[in-house]
Structure 1
Amino acid sequence: MSDSVSLVVRMADGTRKAAISLPPTLTVGQVLQSAQQRWNLPSNADYAARLERTGEQLDSSATLSSVGIESDDVVEVYPILEAG
């Protein structure tokens, strides 16, 4: 297994985008938390991630390797909206 995986993390609306290299043992939740902090996203919202290649929503407690992240994949971050 490689020491890192290169991927692109972007907001679903296209406003922010970053090409990064991360250890495959990092969880999806850690990636979301980092994106939320670095991009100064509202802290009163919850966020989810979707793997663009498959269209699958990623489990935030799963590691990047266990969800099948491959080199140069695109992970979209989007807010979880609650209907009222």
Structure 2
Amino acid sequence: MYILPGCNGQTRVYYPRFGPLTIGNSSSTKCGQAAFNVRGLPNSHVRGLRVSDCCFAGVANTENTLEHVDDLRFENTTINGKPV
């Protein structure tokens, strides 16, 4: 949340907007703890996350964190060899 000065001494509240985001044709052999940790804000969701043609290996925790994400799509994507 951003609070910006407005006219006549008033303030305005602005929430950031995230999306659309696309990840494609990517691979990794050592992802570490998780392949995805995406958290939008309760009042400003991530909108339009697309992941296609990706292969993530060496992921220690395959429980992805995806909170406040709208219009999520995985296509031809694997984590540790298993389709998402």
Higher relative contact order (CA 8 A, sep 6+): 1
Superposition TM-score, scaled by structure 2 size:
0.22
Superposition TM-score, scaled by structure 1 size:
0.22
* Bigger helix fraction: 1
